[in-house]
Amino acid sequence: MSTPVPATPGIHPAPPLLTTSTLLTTSTLLITPARMRASMFRRSLREHPGPVVAALAGLLAAAWLIRYATYGDRHTLSLFAGTWVLGWIVLPLMLGGGRGRVQPSHLRLEPVGSAAAATGLLIAASVGIGPLVSLAALAALPVHAARYGAGEAVAAGVGALLLWLAGLIGSSVALEAVGHAGGPAGAITTGVFTGTVMGVFGSVWAVAPWITSLLAGAPDHVVRWLPYFPGSWPLGAVTGPAGRGLLMLGGLAALVAVFALAYLALVRRALVTGSSWRPRRSPITAGSAPAPLTPARPVSAGWWGPGPVWAVAGRELRTWARHPLRLQYLAFAVVYGSLLAGLPTLAHTDRLLPWAGVLAALGAAAMSAGLIGLDGTALWMPLTTHGGERAEVRGRALAWLLLVTPIALLLTVAGVLLAPGVDPLAAWAVLPAVLGAGAAVPVWVSLLRVRPVPDPRHPTSADNPTDIISVLVASAAGVAAAAAPMAWLIWGPQSPRWPALVCGVAAGVATWFGGAWLADDRLANRGAEVLTAAGRRTRPPETAIPLRWDAGWYRENRATAWALGLLTVGWIPVMPQGLMVLVLDISGGWIVASHVTGGARTAVAVAMVALGGAMLLTGLVLWGRRPRPTS
């Protein structure tokens, strides 16, 4: 029991630390994060065409799903809906969806409870293209259920809404938990998962027959397992007994509740510690013993090798082994390359199997095209050391080679053993060329296009700084290097063919030195510029795009306007007019290829893909050249 303090003349009791006037009201708290998110979203729409393009592509896919719902198979539709929600949860981890997100740590200093904060943050998370497009796509479920009656459509609508909520909250949980999981296990898991998704998409031609039969109707063994898949519950609830239907809707509600509780726990943790998920601070010793070091016992930092190049290589190898995003990239490249080579066996072709190592090396090169940005401004050390620039470039390239070569060799050997009937000479000849290019050219590219992460000390998957142009240039270098041995094999003498191996090694050495020379030159002459770019924690000012029609702006920014137009419209020939005709065999009055048959139909679809690709590439080039404001 507390005893009242008697009032003493001249001494006033201290007022309460917080009064109701200083506390945020609940309604303000729930709405403020959404307002913040809406402001960020409007800004991103003005600055970059990416969200608009993504929205258009997403809406096209959603429209196709709704159309399929009117005539398609229930089980297949359930699979698509569930996969959509799964993609919504996972893809932001791969594509850096955390940028522009209102995060729990932003509210850490505000006087808010975790439940109110979590609710406000989830309302904020519902603002954006992903939630909007997903809601449109999941509308396919009540549309399909309407064939069973109005009540069934309403029930499926409720199920779709619950599924949408599961996606919304699940996505927030993933970004907060997995995206912040700095540990190697979380990073490798993310890399494996995203590599699998991309590998399957990349081998869509091989799995196309399976997709075609899936569109006609899900196979029996899939149908048997489908009831265990939450994506099937909205439609499962309206097509079976009423009791089972209620159970399925209840299951979806329970799933939403579990996700909500998980998110609440993460938000609570973030409000208390500032981070929802941070690896424990732990000393690292040369061995694994965790005992603290004492001055009497000299610290062994391991073997570093002689000279500056090896010092940098040693630093890089340690960083590869410990940096969550690097581990994620490496895991992604290995899985992606393996699946691209292995999945075609589904279509009874094993010709790509020996190429698993080459594809993994190409993937690793592409994913290494932004490494300078990951390291923040740590480049100052070589820049203040005699000969540091050269050592930095060579050391980075050497470390990449030491890391990727054994993996690529292992995958190639495995592929050769699994496909004894395939001549592996081409893969063996191309491998050194790709390794040479992959080691050095990405170093140059990442010095050329520095994309820093917001916090180099604690990067997350959500900070993914992957830059598509850097990825394309790094990949193109590998492909260009591979052209020399391939040309020898195709147009050279048919016997002996082994000089193709020498040609591959020569191409690898040449691209290694070429890339290293370009990177040396860049770092030696523009080191200060690179360092400034690496230290930029906010994006430089971008071209402001008017949201309303402004004839004057379009006259003055013709190239930018063309870029926007091409990037927006270029997807139409690529996707519905091209790939969807080739892969899904769609037809319709506005589909140009529908008006011809046989080989001509394929040719028109391929031409459409080429046309769209050219439009998108031109758009990218024009967008890259747009004038930037000076302040």
Partner 1 sequence: MDRIDLTVRQGTFHGIVGPNGAGKSTTIGMAVGLIVPDAGRISVLGHDALRDRSAARTLTGVLPDGLDLPERLTGAELLRYSAGLRGLSRAAAADRVAELIDVLGLAKAAATPLADCSTGNRKKVGLAQALLHAPRLLVLDEPFEAVDPVSAASIRRVLRRFVEAGGTTVLSTHSMMLVEQMCDEVTVIHQGRVVAAGPVAEVAGGLSLEDRFVELVGAETTGTDGLAWLVR
Instruction: List residues binding partner 1 (CB under 8 A).
Output: 281-285, 292-295, 298-302, 304-308, 310-312, 314-315, 318-319, 322-323, 375-378, 380-388, 391, 456-458, 527-528, 531, 535
Q: If phi over 0 gives left and psi between -120 and 50 gives alpha, with beta otherwise, what is residue 300?
A: beta
Torsions phi, psi of 488, nearest 5? -60, -45
595 burial level (CB within 10 Å; 0-12, 13-18, 19+): exposed
**3-class secondary structure, 18:** coil
Considering the complex, state which of residue 78 and residue 328 has its C-beta at the smaller distance from partner 1: 328
Considering the complex, state which of residue 117 and residue 531 has its C-beta at the smaller distance from partner 1: 531
Shortest distance (Å) from residue 539 CB to partner 1? 18
Considering the complex, state which of residue 65 and residue 187 has its C-beta at the smaller distance from partner 1: 187
CA–CA separation, 145 vs 538, rounded Å?
47
Shortest distance (Å) from residue 386 CB to partner 1? 5
Considering the complex, state which of residue 189 and residue 285 has its C-beta at the smaller distance from partner 1: 285
CA–CA separation, 179 vs 98, rounded Å?
8
| Of 461, 465, 466, residue with least CA distance to 93 | 461
Cα distances from 391 to residues 115, 312, 320, 381, 382, in angstroms, run: 52, 7, 18, 11, 8
Considering the complex, state which of residue 152 and residue 375 has its C-beta at the smaller distance from partner 1: 375
CA–CA separation, 556 vs 45, rounded Å?
20
Considering the complex, state which of residue 297 and residue 348 has its C-beta at the smaller distance from partner 1: 297
CA–CA separation, 620 vs 622, rounded Å?
5
Q: By the 8 A CB rule, do 372 and 391 touch?
A: no
**3-class secondary structure, 423:** coil
> Would you give the DSSP letter of residue 540?
P
Shortest distance (Å) from residue 16 CB to partner 1? 15
Shortest distance (Å) from residue 392 CB to partner 1? 9
99 burial level (CB within 10 Å; 0-12, 13-18, 19+): middle
Considering the complex, state which of residue 424 and residue 456 has its C-beta at the smaller distance from partner 1: 456
End-to-end CA distance of the chain: 62
Shortest distance (Å) from residue 463 CB to partner 1? 13
Shortest distance (Å) from residue 109 CB to partner 1? 17
Considering the complex, state which of residue 299 and residue 547 has its C-beta at the smaller distance from partner 1: 299
Considering the complex, state which of residue 298 and residue 421 has its C-beta at the smaller distance from partner 1: 298
Shortest distance (Å) from residue 438 CB to partner 1? 22
CA–CA separation, 533 vs 548, rounded Å?
32
CA–CA separation, 112 vs 90, rounded Å?
29
Estimate the share of the chain in helix, then strand, then coil, as percent rounded to the nearest 5. Answer: 70, 0, 25
**3-class secondary structure, 276:** coil
Considering the complex, state which of residue 462 and residue 531 has its C-beta at the smaller distance from partner 1: 531
Considering the complex, state which of residue 304 and residue 498 has its C-beta at the smaller distance from partner 1: 304
Considering the complex, state which of residue 243 and residue 283 has its C-beta at the smaller distance from partner 1: 283
Shortest distance (Å) from residue 276 CB to partner 1? 17
C-alpha count within 13 angstroms, C-beta hemisphere, residue 287: 5
Shortest distance (Å) from residue 311 CB to partner 1? 3
Shortest distance (Å) from residue 447 CB to partner 1? 16
Tokens representing 63? 């429209």
Give CA angle at 481 (475, 483), nearest 5°: 105
Shortest distance (Å) from residue 253 CB to partner 1? 41
Q: By the 8 A CB rule, do 86 and 193 touch?
A: no
Q: By the 8 A CB rule, do 523 and 439 touch?
A: no
CA–CA separation, 116 vs 379, rounded Å?
43
Shortest distance (Å) from residue 523 CB to partner 1? 12
